[in-house]
Structure formats: C-alpha cells, structure tokens
C-alpha cells in the first residue's frame, strides 16, 4: 500500500479515537455546556475523519473490508 492509502487507514482509525472520546465526554469534569460542545466537536471530527479516510482509500477497499467482516461474523469465526 502506498502512503496515500495508509493516510486513509490512519484517518479511519482516528475516527475510532474520536468515537471513544465522544463516549467519555459525560465523565469529563466540565460544565454541561462545555460537555455538549465537546460532544458535538468529537462527533463532527469523527464523521469528517471517517469519510475523508474512506474517500482517500476508495470505495472498493472499504466495501471489500465490510464484506469480509460480515462474512466472518455470519460464519462464526472470530476476527
């Protein structure tokens, strides 16, 4: 894989980090308004990094990954 594809994979992985931060937002020691703003920011960053990574990698690679993932889930094999 070339550098461009790795950048796309990195962005998709980064979206998982933003998702984890989104889930941890209620436990931050901040005011409610700040928690809401942080949650919205994490949500936007998560979506942007995922879709940008998907555009960089390409539709075929993402479709192949999900098809393989779903095939393993239905066959009972662990990933």
Specify the pLDDT at position 18.
96
Count of domains observed in the chain: 1
Specify the pLDDT at position 44.
97
pLDDT in tens, the chain (79 residues): 688 888 998 999 999 999 999 999 999 999 999 999 999 999 999 999 999 998 998 877 778 878 888 887 676 655 5
Specify the pLDDT at position 15.
96
Q: Give the structural domain span for 40.
A: 3-75
Specify the pLDDT at position 1.
65
- Please give the Cα distance from 25 to 48 (Å, whole number): 19
Specify the pLDDT at position 52.
94
């Amino acid at each position: 894989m070339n550098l461009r594809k790795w950048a796309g994979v990195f962005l998709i992985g980064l979206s998982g980090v933003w998702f984890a931060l989104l889930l941890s937002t209620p436990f931050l020691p901040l005011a409610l308004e700040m928690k809401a703003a942080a949650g919205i920011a994490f949500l936007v960053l998560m979506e942007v990094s995922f879709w940008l990574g998907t555009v960089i990698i390409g539709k075929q690679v993402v479709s192949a990954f999900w098809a393989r993932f779903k095939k393993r889930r239905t066959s009972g094999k662990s990933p």
